[in-house]
Structure 1
Amino acid sequence: MSLPDASARYHSPLREKQKDDTRQTLLAVAGRVVADAGLEGLSFAALAREAGVQERTAYRHFSNKDALLSALWEWVNRQADIPGFARTREELLSMPPVAYAGFDRQEGLMRALLSSPQGREFRLRVNDERQATLKGVLSDLLPHLSAEEGRNLLASIQLLYSATAWMTMKDYWGLDGKAAGDASVWAIKALLDTAARTIEGRRQTQETRD
């Protein structure tokens, strides 16, 4: 009979829950630190001090600051019920009001993330995925537009469904998240309708020539 592998780790549901609870507490504290002092104020020393733990505890959950920031972005999305990238036309036209209302609930943290170089770096890190997803949503239109027209459509819609648009409409027009999201949806619909009319007009012109 072979003996049990002494190196195998014992799986304890209670231990796993305690570990997850600690991680969630650290992320909540990190969110408060960023909301109060910006991303530049977030360090493992500050996180440990505010959470009442030792730095090595924080490092056990997040190997470096990039890992901490990535986890923090995911935590913010969950806390604010932000739905993420739209993957269908229906989602593109329904998600902005939900996302922007979530931004309202995490306003201090969202502003800190938007205004910091680290926040910009993280947004650029996921930009390829975001743009690829949007191209998939508009795959029925893009082949019938010129490269410039397609780029303009994609760039405009990405801007309209963004935290930057939420903050601009909130600051300069006094719109809350729901109203800002509705305004974004209205503008996105207008762009999509214009693109569809452009394509239809060209089709009819081509049929007339033929």
Structure 2
Amino acid sequence: MTDDGTIQEKPSSNDERIDEALLQLAAEGAPLTHDAVAKISGVSRRTVYRRYADQVELRKRLWNLLSPPGGMPRNLHDLLDRELRETFEKFDRQAAAMTVASASPEGRQMRLEMKAERVAAYSAIFGPHTDRLTEEQARKAHAAMQLLCCGLAWREMRDQWDLNGPDAAEASAWAVKVLIAHLDREGAQAFDVPTPH
């Protein structure tokens, strides 16, 4: 049953029921196990195992359900022009699961399993703007800008500033654009910024 009292239609396929179970477990902060998915979805444990051989695969599927519609960003223009807004809007639609997943041990493990792919993608799109920095400075710049584009930024802006997904995306895109403009303008001196009074 939904919040407004209407009966929610049960997903028809096994895959849809497994997806719903994964989202429900994430929203509850519960461990993602094959047994739990089978129990909630009404799908046999064997069927869950056939689709997802281990917990890593279950977490990867959950990440795909919660993650940006197109996966990791491929270019900076699309990320700032529309993908960030689409991603944060998706987070709004799945707020319960996103909020808990961003704070739970299971969610942290899910994010860590995507680390190499995430670091590579963001380094590739930010790299042309940090190529005059030292390697250590570039890593710090990439980390700061990537943080503005992730679920943790969405959650904090939602919880602390009452911003919805589109507004949070606009704020994040603005901040990344300001940082990119500064990096392009200042080059190797980009980290030499005086502290404001």
- Report TM bin, short chain: 0.7 to 0.9
Structure ranking higher in helix proportion: 1
Q: Which amino acid aligns with 2:26?
A: V
Equivalent position to 1:146, from 134, 147, 158: 134
Please say if residues 83 and 98 of structure 1, whose CA atoms lie closer than 8 Å, have aligned partners that are also in contact. Answer: no
Unaligned 5+ runs, structure 2: 1-11, 191-197
Please say if residues 14 and 43 of structure 2, whose CA atoms lie closer than 8 Å, have aligned partners that are also in contact. Answer: no
Which residue number in structure 2 is paired with residue 38 of structure 1?
29
**Aligned residues: CA RMSD:** 2.2
Distance 1:58 1:148 in 2: 43
- Please say which structure displays the higher CA radius of gyration: 1
Question: Given the two structures, how large is their TM-score scaled by the length of structure 2?
Answer: 0.80
Q: Which amino acid aligns with 1:195?
A: L
Question: Given the two structures, how large is their TM-score scaled by the length of structure 1?
Answer: 0.76
Q: Identity across aligned pairs (percent)?
A: 30
Q: Residues 53 and 127 of structure 1: is their aligned pair in 2 closer, same or farther, counting only changes over 3 Å?
A: closer
Please say if residues 19 and 62 of structure 2, whose CA atoms lie closer than 8 Å, have aligned partners that are also in contact. Answer: yes
Distance 1:30 1:133 in 2: 26
Q: Residues 54 and 168 of structure 1: is their aligned pair in 2 closer, same or farther, counting only changes over 3 Å?
A: same
- 1:24-76 per-residue CA deviation (whole Å, 9 max, x = no partner) reads 221212212321x2133x43333222222332232232222222221222133
Q: Residues 26 and 193 of structure 1: is their aligned pair in 2 closer, same or farther, counting only changes over 3 Å?
A: same
Superposition map of 1:1-210 within 5 A: 21-35=13-27, 37-40=28-31, 42-77=32-67, 82-94=69-81, 95-199=83-187
Q: How many equivalent residue pairs?
A: 178
Unaligned 5+ runs, structure 1: 1-19, 203-210
Please say if residues 20 and 41 of structure 2, whose CA atoms lie closer than 8 Å, have aligned partners that are also in contact. Answer: no
Q: Which amino acid aligns with 1:72?
A: L
Q: Residues 24 and 199 of structure 1: is their aligned pair in 2 closer, same or farther, counting only changes over 3 Å?
A: same
